[in-house]
Amino acid sequence: MKRIVLLLLLVVWAPSSILVQEEVTMTNISQIFEQAVSFIQQKDPKALNQLLQKNPQLSEYSDSDASNQTLIHHTLSYANFAGDAPSLWSTPECADVLWKNGVLIDTKFCLRALSTADLPMIEWLSRENELPECIRGLAALGKTRELKSWFVKGKLKPNANPPTAWLSETSDPLHHIWQVQNYQLTDDWLITDAFRYAIRFGHKCTAGSLLEKVVDINPKLAQRVQETTKTAFLDYLVQHRSEISMADTLPVWEMLQLVKAKVALVNADIDSFQSVLEITPSLLKQQYMRQQIELLELAAYSDGYVFAKLLLNSGAYISRANPRPKSKALVYAIDYGNREIVELLKKFWEPSYDLPTLAGLGDLSKVKTYLNKHIDEADLVGGLALACMNQHQEVADYLIQQGADVNAEWSLHEPATILHHMAFFGKLNMVRFLIERGANPTIKDFRYQLDALGWAKYNDQDQVAAYLQQVKE
């Protein structure tokens, strides 16, 4: 199995320099606010600064349609993938412009910068002395010495609530949240959280120092680490740090095993996946339902039917949860044309009633019924794309008869023709189907300027590439 890695960011190509040369004639402050947001999205600090100079009221304005979100919060990247190039996502240069124009940096902003693993923003906050003293921040920055000095004021306890003095004597925003919302923060939870950040940003030395603290207050973990050796333990996590979620904090052992499960799924290693479930049955319990959903979603777009089936048959709580929590697993399975997983997951989640989904399911009767009431060009294209992804030729043929454009642009990750996507995923029969119905193989995608043949070659789809080469000749 080959995991598909494509950039998820769509670059906005609007020429901001032209926009700022024009006089701002908008009288509605909300419209000006939206323009500032667009400059942030375009990563254009110069244009943003000019707009703020003309409209200083923006520094205190909040967007009522987005829960009173201030302009500074639009600079957060929400880049939760350690493998992403920070330069593509993060906008500390725009945050700097806002800060210099009087926009306030609040605790919520700092917490969100930390929770999205936005290292460039964390570094900027630290340089400007705007990052509260907190162990997650120090761990993300790899400041081992500073962290060590925190733990000399009292003996750490596994379930100390409130945490021992080392936390309460700092300005950690987590401590503030605990006081306000009565969060159940403990010594081991907070140190484990910092450990996750150190690993996420590849600071092995810092992670090692924090691991020692966790081991000190967790004898069971100490035994497990000793069985593998500390070095091997850390090396594996650092090597696969992109698989660590920033959504929540897991105990160190469960964190390691979840990463192993993800790696096994991506590499189509069913034996290793099963071993994780057997060694760590706690991952199947109710408190780890979120992680079970995460594994199902990964299986859904990685063509991992046997993994999804094994997880559910092993007694994962998600299989009997009532009510069932929301998940995109079924959506992913349909989007990526993994029909076996679609049939499996339909038992747990109800498919949505829209044309693309109905077409992806291959339900021609419902597609016809839907089109009797709704005809939309975008729906037709989406329906054709998912019918092709799931290899439902009869449905695809019908949609083409109803006006679906075989050369229309569609986007799963990147905008391109449906033919591009079929070529990338190696669906030779659907590539032939589309060519026979007039699909143009010479069209190039927007970002990479490649035709369908180029996409097939990029993903090593040799059979599809050979066919498209013949068509080209």
What tens-digit pLDDT sequence spans the chain (473 residues)?
A: 434 333 332 333 344 444 443 444 445 888 999 999 999 988 999 999 999 999 999 888 887 666 678 889 989 876 655 555 666 778 999 999 999 999 989 888 888 888 888 889 999 999 999 988 888 889 999 999 988 887 776 666 666 666 666 666 666 766 666 666 556 677 888 889 899 999 998 999 999 999 999 898 888 898 888 888 889 999 999 999 988 888 778 999 999 999 999 999 999 999 999 999 999 999 999 999 999 999 999 999 899 999 999 999 999 999 999 999 999 999 999 999 999 999 999 999 999 999 999 999 999 999 999 999 878 889 999 999 999 999 999 999 999 999 999 999 999 988 999 999 999 999 999 999 999 999 999 999 988 899 999 999 999 999 999 999 999 88
Instruction: Tell me, yes or no, whether 284 and 208 share the same domain.
Output: yes
For residue 472, give the nearest of 460, 456, 448, 458 by alpha carbon.
456
| 473 membership: H or E segment, kind and range | none
d(CA 352, CA 382) in angstroms, rounded, equals 14
Same domain, 223 and 257: yes
The answer to whether 344 and 305 have CB atoms below 8 angstroms apart is: yes
The three-point CA angle 166-168-171 to 5° equals 100
Shared domain for 231 and 327, answered yes or no, is yes
99 within some domain: yes
Q: Identify the domain boundary among 319, 345, 371.
A: 345
pLDDT for residue 435: 97
Q: How far apart are CA 195 and CA 188, in angstroms?
A: 10
Q: 48 with 100: CB under 8 angstroms?
A: no
Query: For the purposes of burial, counting CB atoms within 10 Å of the CB of 449, is it exposed (0-12), middle (13-18) or buried (19 or more)?
Result: exposed
Closest CA to 426 of 392, 371, 382, 389: 389
Q: Is residue 353 part of a domain?
A: no
Q: Tell me, yes or no, whether 289 and 419 share the same domain.
A: no
Specify the residue for token string 């199902």.
296
Helices H, strands E: what count in the chain? 29, 4
Task: Check residue 446 and give its pLDDT.
Answer: 87
Residue 271, domain member (yes or no) = yes
Give me the pLDDT at residue 184, please: 65
Structural domain total, the chain: 3
If phi over 0 gives left and psi between -120 and 50 gives alpha, with beta otherwise, what is residue 374? beta
**pLDDT for residue 151:** 77
Q: Between the CA of residue 81 and those of 6, 177, 185, 241, what are the distances in Å? A: 12, 25, 26, 9
Beta carbons of 259 and 237 less than 8 angstroms apart = yes
Q: How far is CA 208 from the centre of its chain?
A: 27
- Cα–Cα–Cα angle for 292, 294, 296, rounded to 5 degrees: 70
pLDDT at 8: 31
Judgement on whether residues 91 and 228 belong to the same structural domain of the protein: no
Residue pair 276/257 in contact (Cβ under 8 Å)? The answer is yes
Task: Round to whole Å and give the CA distance between 382 and 400.
Answer: 12
For residue 329, what pLDDT is reported? 96
The Cα–Cα gap between 3 and 267 comes to: 8
Amino acid at position 209, single letter: S
* Residues in a beta bridge with 410: 416
Both 454 and 419 in one domain: the answer is: yes
Within a domain: residue 354? no
CA distances from 156 to 148, 164, 167, 391 (A): 13, 7, 11, 58
Other Cβ atoms closer than 10 A to 65: 9
Is the CB of residue 272 less than 8 Å from the CB of residue 314?
Answer: no
Judge if 278 and 323 occupy the same domain: yes
Residues 196 and 167 in one domain: yes
- Domain range for 461 is 359-472
d(CA 74, CA 3): 31
Determine the length of the chain: 473
pLDDT for residue 1:
41
User: What CATH number does the domain containing 438 carry?
Assistant: 1.25.40.20
Q: What is the pLDDT of residue 246?
A: 81
Give me the pLDDT at residue 179, please: 62
Residue 351 lies in a domain: no
pLDDT for res 161: 66
Q: Is the domain of 29 the same as that of 94?
A: yes
Q: Based on the domain organization, do 278 and 302 belong to the same domain?
A: yes
Contact in structure between 319 and 285 (CB atoms under 8 Å): no
Among 345, 379, 409, give the residue marking a domain's end.
Answer: 345
Structure tokens at 143: 């400041």
221 and 110 fall within a common domain: yes
**DSSP code at position 142:** T
Name the β-bridge partners of 409: 417
Same domain assignment for residues 75 and 5: yes
- Work out the angle between the directed axes of helices 289-301 and 305-313 (0-180°, nearest 10): 160
pTM for this one?
Answer: 0.82
Q: What is the pLDDT of residue 63?
A: 78
CA dist., res. 186 & res. 309, Å (int): 36
Do the Cβ atoms of 470 and 456 come closer than 8 Å? Answer: no
